[in-house]
Amino acid sequence: MTDDKKILVTGADGFIGSHLTQLLLDEGYSVRALAQYNSFNYWGWLDGLSHPRLEVVTGDVRDPDFCRHICRDCSTVYHLAALIAIPYSYVAPDSYVDTNIKGTLNMCQAARDCGVGRIVVTSTSEVYGTARYVPIDEGHPRQPQSPYSATKIGADAIAKSFYNAFELPVVIARPFNTYGPRQSARAIIPTIIGQIATGKREIKVGDLTPTRDFNYVEDTARGFIALGETPGIEGMEINIATGTEVSMADTLDTIARLMNADVNYVTDPERIRPSKSEVFRLCGDNSLIKSLTEWRPRFSLEQGLSRTIEWFLNPENLKKYKTDIYNR
């Protein structure tokens, strides 16, 4: 599907944002992609991506005037820009409030001022906390078990308030645990793959008992586009999930098997969350998105992990990761 106006993607230099940007270009859209400003003119995962319908801009969603500037002439906004690492939120919570809550406020106000036709705001399954029941539907209680999840709950509330108070055409996309090529080393799957790929046999991990609902990144990106294109869903909060769960231990055993690696797992205390902050079980209900759109997950966990491993085993990709250093 094509559009005669630009699609804005904030956080386009990041993991999910870069995949979403590429998929939008593949589907014929013109994309204005926001990378966070830095003096090196570094565009994150957009570096090296060249396309006649791609416009890369640099800036910061914490600046309201800049947000209005980038929203001009855009028909749809996918707002992904956020601070996402849970461990770092323990030591720098104020930064998360500024970027996640205030940044979302700025983007909603800018979208309203510029007459944007749809803004898809990115939530996270972390807002649910440890499951009180499964599968987790959109009505599940919110549980702020980390400063990160608290700020995402706040950002969701800001977005929903703009729908209720100003009829801003907001859709809140709530992806569960996305993984795949380009994921940051703060996450468990790239951490394990990276350690094995560099020859380590004692793999440092945190708690292996929690379960997660893992989405391959291409499926997540297609979910975003479905929520950007489907009419009549403004004001809704919608899970992007597989409806399945797998433990960290089983996930890591699968990775080791796919990589033909004989490894031992060693608990690293630095990687353990505070007990009340750990989310022990996540399994999403995807019945709402399936009832509203044609989206369905296409990749099994093994298929997605195989693609992810293949990408990480490319030396040009692996060298971008500091596998000896725990990334908060």
Give φ, ψ of 76 to 5 degrees: -135, 140
* Model pLDDT for residues 22-77, shown as the tens digit of each residue: 999 999 999 999 999 999 999 999 998 999 999 999 999 999 999 999 999 999 99
User: Largest alpha-carbon pair distance within the chain?
Assistant: 57
In this structure, are residues 205 and 248 in contact, taking their beta carbons and an 8 Å threshold? yes
* Model pLDDT for residues 55-69, shown as the tens digit of each residue: 999 999 999 999 999
- pLDDT bin (cut points 50, 70, 90) of residue 263 is confident
- pLDDT at residue 2, rounded to an integer: 47
User: Strand, helix or coil at 104?
Assistant: helix
In this structure, are residues 317 and 181 in contact, taking their beta carbons and an 8 Å threshold? yes
Low-confidence winner among 77-81, 218-222, 260-264 (lowest mean pLDDT): 260-264
> Among all chains, which residue has been given the structure tokens 């807002």?
127
- Distinct helix (H) and strand (E) counts, the chain: 12, 13
Beta-carbon contacts of residue 294 (< 8 Å; ≥ 6 apart): 226
- pLDDT at residue 327, rounded to an integer: 62
In this structure, are residues 104 and 79 in contact, taking their beta carbons and an 8 Å threshold? yes
Q: Identify which of 91, 95, 92, 111 has the alpha carbon closest to the alpha carbon of residue 10.
A: 111
Q: Who has greater pLDDT, 288 or 275?
A: 288
> Among all chains, which residue has been given the structure tokens 């909060």?
237
For the CA atoms of the chain, what is the radius of gyration?
Answer: 19
Question: How many angstroms separate the CA atoms of 168 and 326, rounded?
Answer: 40
- pLDDT at residue 143, rounded to an integer: 97
- pLDDT at residue 323, rounded to an integer: 76
- pLDDT bin (cut points 50, 70, 90) of residue 103 is very high
Tell whether pTM > 0.85.
yes
Q: Which CATH superfamily is domain 6-178+215-240 in?
A: NAD(P)-binding Rossmann-like Domain (3.40.50.720)
- pLDDT bin (cut points 50, 70, 90) of residue 267 is confident
- pLDDT at residue 205, rounded to an integer: 82
State whether CATH 3.90.25.10 applies to domain 180-212+244-285+300-318. yes
- Of all residues in the chain, the percent with pLDDT exceeding 90 is 84
* Model pLDDT for residues 115-163, shown as the tens digit of each residue: 999 999 999 999 999 999 999 999 999 999 999 999 999 999 999 999 9
Phi-psi region of 199 (alpha: psi -120 to 50; beta: other; left: phi over 0): left
Q: How is residue 86 written in tokens?
A: 């849970």
- pLDDT for residue 325 is more than 80: no
Pairing of strands 202-205, 118-122: unpaired
**Which ranges in the chain are annotated with CATH 3.40.50.720?**
6-178+215-240
* Model pLDDT for residues 268-281, shown as the tens digit of each residue: 777 777 778 788 99
- pLDDT at residue 326, rounded to an integer: 65
**Which ranges in the chain are annotated with CATH 3.90.25.10?**
180-212+244-285+300-318
- pLDDT bin (cut points 50, 70, 90) of residue 1 is very low
In this structure, are residues 199 and 270 in contact, taking their beta carbons and an 8 Å threshold? no
* Model pLDDT for residues 197-244, shown as the tens digit of each residue: 999 888 888 788 899 999 999 999 999 999 999 999 999 999 999 999
